[in-house]
Amino acid sequence: MTTTTVGGAAAPVRPTAGTRRGAGLTEVAWDPDGFWGTRQRVNAEHTFAHCIAWMERLGWLENFDRVGRGETTVERAGWQFADSEVYKLLEGLAWELGRRDDARLAAAYDALVARIAPAQDPDGYVGTAFGHPGLPPRYSDMSMGHELYNMGHLMQAAVARLRTKGEDPLVSMARRAADHICREFGEGARETLCGHPEVEVALAELGRATGERRYVDQARLFLERRGHGTLAVRPLLSAEYFQDDTPIVEAEALRGHAVRALYLSAGAVDVAVETEDVALLAALERQWAHTVERRTYITGGMGSRHQDEGFGEDWELPPDRAYCETCAGVASVMFSWRLYLATGDVRYVDLMERTLHNVVATAPDATGTAFFYANPLHERVAGAEYAGEGVNMRAEGGVRAPWFDVSCCPTNVARTLASLHSYAASVEERTVSLLLYAPGTIDVAVDGERLRLRVDTAYPDGGTVAVTVEEAPAAAVTLRLRVPGWAREATVAGPAGGTVGVAPGWFEDARALAAGDRYVLELGNEPRLVWPDPRIDAVRGTVAVERGPLVLCVESTDLPAGVRLEDVRIDPDAVPRASGDGAVVSATVRPALPDAAGAPPYQATRPVDPGAASSDVALVPYHRWGERAPSEMRVFIPVAGR
Ligand SMILES: [Zn+2]
């Protein structure tokens, strides 16, 4: 097997095979006031400290202290996966410190590492929920114990640190943990696997970052063990829940617990790429396609069922019961990004953009200190304003909460935002592709020379993207601009002069560039109706409105007094008009229907449309729903006359 090291500046996901790489953390700098730059700034200024404060308050850091002091008891704080939140936060801090200096966050990183390091056992095991006095024995609950899951997140944090700053105590810790796992779970040792995938993607990335091939081999072993009914099942937690029902290479679609399925898939792409397993990569592409075609919400959200936080059957996409966990959005981006790097197919970036703008950006509020866990597309009853001092059990009520009993989402958002700009562009030999649009600077190495581009745009609130060359290599470069799938009438004006129409996919131009050369991509930014596939029973007879990459929604906050959300019906023949960052649509408001005097809401005669008053209704971007006040909300709006 031959592999080519692509090198490049530090970033998540660095395949050692193939020639395509994402931009490095220091190769893209987003302006601090753009759509994503604002979120990165808020993340750095507020979210990290917020998460540390909650972990301290709930005793999740104290858990490490107790193990280090040999003082564990049955009274341990938090769930068995609480350790992973500390590691995810460390990963976020490591990426953040890799993109910019920050003495306060550097001190926070050092303090956390000093705090957790004493908890590692001499043989490399680290975990605060098992294997110490008063706690269950190590590896006594592979289905739900999350021990390898936790150590996987430790490794991902170490990968972030190793790529950005080099060896340090956290990296040493992760190496010892990985060595322990290889000994305990290698060929001929414990022939089992972890109920929550994560260690696979972590081992593959740690193998890349350290050059230790055996970590990749161990990841492959875990993947091969999955799908054979090894894990003990429980009521409501079937083999499918754990993706232990079917071998990965044979599966047709993602199924079971959504975050598990997506982390597993991300790790499987990494292993397929590192081992040049064409069949495995093809299986994952097939599963991605099936899942996107039939099991994904318009927001990019995944997971239709609250009961097991899982995927539903094909076309089972209820808007009101949508689970769409924020972490599933993060994990979907991880999966799609890997498939893009492996194949170059633009559709993976299209889904990333959809998911980032409509799930990941939706979770945190503007202060970066309250988060959605679930992201339903229809809220029938406005949530109660969150006023509690304690944790929210799950926050399914349409109100962002500062912390959760199971608090996986806030730290997942934090680590994603800190490294997100590395997805803004990719480099392949002498081709540079712009993928996610935000104002800022892209400064990448092309065969050892700099290509420096200035991007000016109001995206996603504006559809114009201006790219100005500030510095370019002497020889020709191929510059590619992604044209999103929704942009049906896009045009580009380039240095060659004139304006050309471009179809969704790529605009591509190969030439020797010079400072001052300029490309202006016009994607359009008018709101548009988007119709659901008629096989999605739950939203038949409705339509959604999108604008650019944003899904819009109606909030009760914007309805005229006395108008109820369930009585608003959109006029499908009227073109939605742009308004602020949202839209205004022509709608009819049905008079309130009488209740059926104790009878069930079904009748033998076909209902007659009672007539309606016309009204303009305002729509806002889904990513900021519920920010002004708790509200009733819906994305799919019933069509008048249906
Ligand atoms: Zn989560």
DSSP state of 307: T
SS3 274: helix
Q: For residue 269, which of 291, 287, 245 has the smallest C-alpha distance? A: 287
Write the single-letter amino acid at 489. E
624 CA → ligand 1 middle, Å: 19
How remote is the CA of residue 252 from the centroid of ligand 1, in Å? 25
Ligand 1 centroid to Cα of residue 222, in Å, is 23
pLDDT in tens, 328-372: 999 999 999 999 999 999 999 999 999 999 999 999 999 999 999
CA of 296 to the centre of ligand 1 (A): 17
What's the pLDDT at 3? Answer: 32
Gap from CA of 352 to ligand 1 centroid (Å): 18
Q: State in Å: Cα 461 to ligand 1 middle.
A: 27
Alpha helix stretches (DSSP H) within 103-198: 103-116, 147-164, 169-185
Distance between Cα 298 and ligand 1 center (Å): 19
User: How far does residue 404's CA lie from ligand 1's centre (Å)?
Assistant: 9
The region that residue 52 occupies, defined by phi over 0 for left and psi between -120 and 50 for alpha, beta otherwise, is alpha
Residues 3 and 17 sit within 8 Å (Cβ to Cβ):
yes
DSSP bridge pairs for 552: 621
Give the distance (Å) from ligand 1 centre to CA of residue 330: 9
What are the helix (H) ranges across 19-144?
A: 35-42, 48-58, 62-69, 82-99, 103-116
Query: Cα(339) to centroid of ligand 1, in Å?
Result: 22
Token duo for residue 230: 């090894």
Cβ–Cβ < 8 Å for 96, 160:
no
Pick from 25, 43, 196: nearest CA to 98: 25
pTM for the model: 0.97
246-262-258 Cα angle (round to 5): 80
Distance 443 CA to ligand 1 centre (A): 33
Q: How far is the CA of 57 from the centre of ligand 1 (A)?
A: 20
In the numeric block, which tokens belong to residue 242? 């754990």
Distance 40 CA to ligand 1 centre (A): 19
Distance from the alpha carbon of residue 49 to the mean position of ligand 1, in angstroms: 19
Pair 546, 527: CB distance under 8 Å:
yes
| Dist. CA 326 → ligand 1 center (Å) | 5
Give the tokens for residue 506: 């790529």
CB atoms under 10 Å from CB of 448, counted, come to 6
CA of 354 to the centre of ligand 1 (A): 18
Give the Cα-Cα-Cα angle 39, 444, 509 (nearest 5 degrees): 105
CA of 257 to the centre of ligand 1 (A): 12
**197 CA distance to ligand 1 middle (Å):** 14
CA of 373 to the centre of ligand 1 (A): 6
Distance between Cα 503 and ligand 1 center (Å): 36
What is the Å distance from ligand 1's center to 408 Cα? 4
CB 258 within 8 A of CB 328: yes
Distance of CA 258 from the midpoint of ligand 1 (Å)? 10
Contacts of 216 (CB under 8 A, 6+ apart): 203, 204, 207, 208, 270, 271, 274, 275
Positions in the chain whose pLDDT score sits under 70: 1-8, 386-390, 394-397, 642
Ligand 1 midpoint to CA 407 (Å): 6
In Å, how far from its chain's centre is CA 232? 29
Q: What is the DSSP letter of 279?
A: H
